[in-house]
Amino acid sequence: MSVINVGQAAVLGVVEGLTEFLPVSSTGHLKITEGLMGIPVDDDAVVGFSAVIQVGAIAAVLLYFFKDIVRIVTAWFRGLFNKQERYHHDYKFAWWVIAATIPIVVVGLAAKSLIEGPLASLWVVAASLIVGSGVMWAADQMGRHKRGEDDTTFKDAMLVGSSQILALLFPGFSRSGATMSTALVRDLDRVAATRLSFFLGIPALTGAGLYELKDALGTGVGVTPLAVGTIVSFVVAYASIAWLLKFVAKHSFNAFVIYRIVIGVLLFGLLGAGVLNA
């Protein structure tokens, strides 16, 4: 019998789609939702399911930024065979995304047992939500928001890409929150920080989903729940991306900071009262 039924998969797909690219921690929200539904958060199949439905959210990014991605990939291929094309920002940016993905891949493989074991605790999620809120607020205040997407550098990409490790090790910190905060400290404006977070998330999250697919299929989650969760995640994530880019163009991240603190405190309360099992 599958550890996740179709109805639960649909709910988790909505949660994933809503929170994957918002700086509120999709992993944290998924774990909280799984806990409330009585799903074992540290089960290999559940961990695999969570990673696989992220691919639905990534597919939404691929579709939403399709023209940008085609432009960047085309510039990369041209640069491989034409020396003059290698001075183009898009060619260099493609290499930066590849290089910036390496740190999270190395740490993810090296620390897999910790990530899926002790660090998967809801206590860690609650603490990370609150600590990550402080980091995000400080970054938004410190950043001068004066650099656009065309001003990004290799150093920006490496620092922002490496910051994904925080969310990998501490579920609840938020991959989007970590990457956006780092980009803001580097003085990128909020829209540029958000778009950079999206682009750097594509290889990392796609790789994680494909890597975990064997666990999701082989240890308790059927094809139908996986398909439902992934499709729902895709649809909801597409709408979430469109909304977020419009929001950050005119607003600070304060609303997300407050929300994260509220959720973190609430989670501590539920754990302390025994309503949720860590």
Question: If you search the block for the tokens 């001075």, which residue do you land on?
Answer: 87
What 8-state DSSP symbol labels residue 65?
T
Q: What is the pLDDT of residues 113-159, one digit of tens each?
A: 887 778 878 899 899 999 999 999 999 999 888 999 889 999 999 99
Q: How confident is the model at residue 235 (pLDDT cuts 50, 70, 90)?
A: very high
Residue 172 vs residue 100, higher pLDDT: 100
What 8-state DSSP symbol labels residue 4?
S
Please, what's the b/e burial string for 232-254 (b: 16 or more CB within 10 A of its CB; e: otherwise)? Answer: bbbebbbebbeebbebbeeeebe
For range 98-112, the mean pLDDT:
90
Cβ–Cβ < 8 Å for 122, 171: no
Lowest mean pLDDT among 12-16, 109-113, 250-254, 265-269: 109-113
What 8-state DSSP symbol labels residue 273?
T
Going by C-beta distance under 8 Å and a sequence separation of 6 or more, which residues neighbour residue 57?
A: 16, 17, 20, 21, 26, 205, 233, 234, 237
Burial class (CB in 10 A: 0-12, 13-18, 19+), 255: exposed
Q: Where are the domains of the chain?
A: 6-272
* Whole-angstrom distance, CA of residue 62 vs CA of residue 204: 13
Q: How confident is the model at residue 217 (pLDDT cuts 50, 70, 90)?
A: low
Closest CA to 51 of 204, 264, 223, 267: 204
Mean pLDDT over each residue of the chain, to the nearest integer = 89
Closest CA to 260 of 91, 131, 129: 129
* Whole-angstrom distance, CA of residue 207 vs CA of residue 105: 9
pLDDT of the residue at 215: 62
Prediction pTM value: 0.86
Q: In Å, how far from its chain's centre is CA 43? A: 20
Q: What is the pLDDT of residues 20-56, one digit of tens each?
A: 889 998 877 888 898 888 887 767 788 778 878 888 8
* Whole-angstrom distance, CA of residue 12 vs CA of residue 215: 17
Lowest mean pLDDT among 69-78, 131-140, 199-208: 199-208
pLDDT of the residue at 255: 95
pLDDT of 240 above 80: yes
